[in-house]
């Protein structure tokens, strides 16, 4: 069958293996016949080719809740369970997931494999820092429990390891107790990139923060942005009786003609967005769903970029080079008239010990681009800026980075390979991405 990630590029032909339980999965792994390459497939929300391979192991069967500890506020569930389903169990108890990405349709296995981050990385770190333990199924068919204390080397290789060490079967996640799931939000306007940085630095005590940046604005508007600071409301009523109606879900039913996405239409959209947001109220209380997952309400929004698909380019730069490096990136993008609707800028806090995790202290920017031939030389140029400023590109979003760019950005790759070789000596677990970047 034809498979692809959220960006719908690249597309590959693969055999989808759908085991019904872990025993049948073990049989696939330990069968005498030559198998592989294969990779786990969660909800398919990574953008590029990290969950593409000749054989895909669907984690759909790992869909059960396995335990709940009321005192410790932990939840144990199968790796195929989505973060949205976990929230449904957490929220009535006054708990919340400590790290949330921009969509709730991500599986626990995918969240661990990419060690995902949210709008609170500067305070709370990334997803795997809240994982008490998980069970990993190795290529040998052996099941291993991994945590920061047990099988530590394998834990740090698997968290952020993009499915290359084995298949995560289940995980225990530490939840956070919150006063409310209503989110009190405050917006600020920044007219330039340096103003945006100043405002984010001045508000590092805000639980959640994110800036929506107009990547098409050049000249003296370069980096103009809206900053959203937020925290949980202190009114606990909204936990048990959320006052909000379910949002109505719209769906993009067909591929939009790609020519509609061009610098004029995008420029008009971004201008309209800024002018509107500047005028509307600066403080509001919104449902967590509206705050964290604004795009989830539009089914198949990835079709807006047309049948050729799109790429997301997300990179991080260290604190001391971020302003200069991001200015150079925006200058190049706005000069080329490419880029997309609003782009997202976030501040990262400390890095962790996971070998291939993306976050490091600094700033991360993500930009969407429709796929077209002339895009690839532009992105190669952005890679040069990112590396020259000591940064790296996020594997969960990547569809085209070269081996040399990957290895320059992820200095622990050799250590990662040493661990992988110990648990997967036949190199069964491999994706199109791992082959492209020289990890398999």
Site residues for ligand FAD per CB under 6 A: 5-6, 39-46, 50-51, 59, 79, 101-103, 106-107, 109-111, 113-114, 116-118, 162-163, 167-168, 295, 396, 431
What gap in Å lies between CA 311 and CA 1, rounded to an integer? 22
165: exposed, middle or buried (Cβ count in 10 Å: 0-12, 13-18, 19+): buried
The residue (of 166 and 328) whose beta carbon lies closer to ligand FAD is: 166
Q: Is 131 left (phi over 0), alpha (psi -120 to 50) or beta?
A: beta
- Least CB distance from residue 344 to ligand FAD, whole Å? 8
The residue (of 50 and 440) whose beta carbon lies closer to ligand FAD is: 50
The residue (of 60 and 407) whose beta carbon lies closer to ligand FAD is: 60
Q: Are 406 and 164 in contact (CB under 8 A)?
A: no
- Least CB distance from residue 409 to ligand FAD, whole Å? 16
Q: Are 395 and 114 in contact (CB under 8 A)?
A: yes
The residue (of 100 and 239) whose beta carbon lies closer to ligand FAD is: 100
Backbone angles phi, psi at 294, to 5 degrees: -60, -30
- Least CB distance from residue 295 to ligand FAD, whole Å? 5
Q: Pairing state of beta strands 310-318 and 362-370?
A: antiparallel
Q: Are 352 and 288 in contact (CB under 8 A)?
A: no
The residue (of 103 and 354) whose beta carbon lies closer to ligand FAD is: 103
Tell me the residue number closest to ligand FAD, measured at CB. 110
E-only strand ranges, 237-390: 250-251, 283-287, 298-299, 310-318, 343-348, 362-370
- Least CB distance from residue 241 to ligand FAD, whole Å? 28
- Least CB distance from residue 156 to ligand FAD, whole Å? 15
- Least CB distance from residue 51 to ligand FAD, whole Å? 4
The residue (of 46 and 238) whose beta carbon lies closer to ligand FAD is: 46
Quick one: tokens of 96?
């919340």
DSSP 107: B
What secondary structure does DSSP assign to 142-200, as a single string? -EEEE-SSSSHHHHHHHTTSTT-S-EEEEEEEE-EE-S-SEEEEEEEEESSHHHHHHHH
- Least CB distance from residue 397 to ligand FAD, whole Å? 7
- Least CB distance from residue 178 to ligand FAD, whole Å? 19
The residue (of 163 and 325) whose beta carbon lies closer to ligand FAD is: 163
Residue 203 neighbours by CB distance under 10 Å: 15
The residue (of 162 and 401) whose beta carbon lies closer to ligand FAD is: 162
């Amino acid at each position: 069958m034809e498979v692809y990630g959220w960006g719908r590029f690249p597309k590959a032909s693969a055999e989808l293996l759908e085991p019904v339980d872990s025993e049948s999965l073990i049989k696939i792994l330990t069968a005498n016949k030559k198998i592989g390459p294969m990779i786990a497939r969660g909800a398919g929300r990574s953008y590029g080719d990290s969950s593409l391979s000749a054989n895909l192991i669907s984690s759909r069967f790992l869909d059960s809740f396995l335990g709940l500890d009321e005192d410790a506020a932990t939840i144990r569930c199968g790796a195929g369970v989505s973060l949205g389903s976990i929230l449904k169990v957490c929220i009535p108890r006054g708990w919340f997931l400590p790290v949330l990405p921009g969509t709730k349709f991500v599986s626990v296995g995918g969240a661990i494999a990419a060690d995902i981050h949210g709008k609170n990385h500067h305070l709370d770190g990334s997803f795997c820092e809240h994982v008490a333990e998980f069970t990993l199924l190795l290529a040998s068919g052996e099941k291993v429990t991994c945590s920061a204390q047990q099988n530590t080397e394998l834990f740090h290789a698997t968290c952020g390891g993009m499915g290359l060490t084995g298949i995560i079967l289940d995980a225990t996640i530490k939840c956070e107790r919150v006063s409310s799931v209503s989110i009190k939000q405050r917006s600020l306007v920044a007219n330039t990139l340096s103003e945006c940085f100043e405002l984010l630095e001045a508000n590092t005590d805000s639980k959640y923060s994110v800036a929506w940046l107009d990547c098409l604005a050049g000249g003296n508007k370069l980096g103009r942005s809206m900053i959203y600071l937020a925290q949980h409301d202190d009114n606990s009523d909204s936990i048990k009786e959320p006052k909000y109606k379910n949002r109505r879900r719209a769906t993009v039913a067909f591929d939009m003609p790609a020519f509609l996405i061009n610098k004029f239409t995008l420029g008009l959209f971004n201008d309209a967005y800024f002018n509107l947001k500047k005028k509307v109220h600066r403080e509001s209380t919104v449902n967590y769903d509206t705050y964290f997952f604004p795009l989830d309400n539009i089914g198949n929004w990835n079709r807006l970029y047309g049948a050729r698909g799109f790429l997301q380019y997300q990179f991080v730069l260290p604190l001391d080079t971020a302003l200069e490096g991001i200015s150079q990136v925006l200058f190049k993008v706005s000069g080329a008239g490419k880029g997309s609707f609003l782009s997202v800028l976030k501040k990262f806090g400390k890095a962790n010990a996971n070998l291939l995790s993306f976050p490091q202290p600094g700033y991360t920017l993500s930009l969407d681009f429709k796929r077209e031939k002339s895009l690839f030389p532009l992105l190669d140029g952005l890679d040069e800026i990112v590396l020259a400023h000591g940064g790296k590109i996020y594997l969960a979003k990547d569809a085209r980075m070269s081996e040399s760019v990957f290895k320059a950005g992820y200095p622990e790759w050799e250590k990662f390979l040493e661990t992988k070789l110990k648990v997967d000596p036949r190199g069964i677990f491999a994706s199109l991405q791992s082959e492209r970047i020289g990890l398999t």
